[in-house]
Amino acid sequence: METDSHLVLCVDDELIGLQVRKILLERSGYKVLTAQDGLEGLQVFAKEPVEIVVLDYSMPGMNGGEVAVRMRQTKPQVPILLLSAYVGLPAEVTALVNLYMTKGEGAEMLLEKVESLLHTPVSE
């Protein structure tokens, strides 16, 4: 378990939601780093060997779309799962990320998507 525990970066300005997501992912055997806004997220992303990013779209200062753009510029191979409380996201934003989902779809769905992204070979 220790060996294949992947490093996940969760970025969300919602503190409770972030904490719960961290516990959930840790329970499933991931190592989880958290950031409460886009800028902090980018710093962690640059410093740590993050293998997957679970990114909230709606955040103050810099939204998920912008954060995704910057992440792609430095480490395009790291998959990004975009979460959003909004039902419809602009197409140019969804095109940036590997997968996206609406918040509230359930824990199983989140874990399933994270898992699937980690095992999909990244094109390139």
- Within 27-86, the residues that bind other proteins by CB under 8 A are 27, 58, 60-61, 63, 83, 85-86
Whether 96 and 66 have beta carbons less than 8 Å apart is answered as no
Whether 35 and 11 have beta carbons less than 8 Å apart is answered as yes
Cα–Cα distance, 8 to 32 (Å, whole number): 5
* Residues that contact other proteins, how many (by CB under 8 A): 26
Provide the terminal-to-terminal Cα distance of the chain, rounded to the nearest Å: 28
**Considering only residues 19, 43, 77, 116, which one is a binding residue for other proteins as defined by CB under 8 A?**
19
The answer to whether 107 contacts other proteins (rule: CB under 8 A) is: yes
Q: Which residues bind other proteins (CB under 8 A)?
A: 13-14, 16-17, 19-21, 23-24, 27, 58, 60-61, 63, 83, 85-87, 102-108, 110
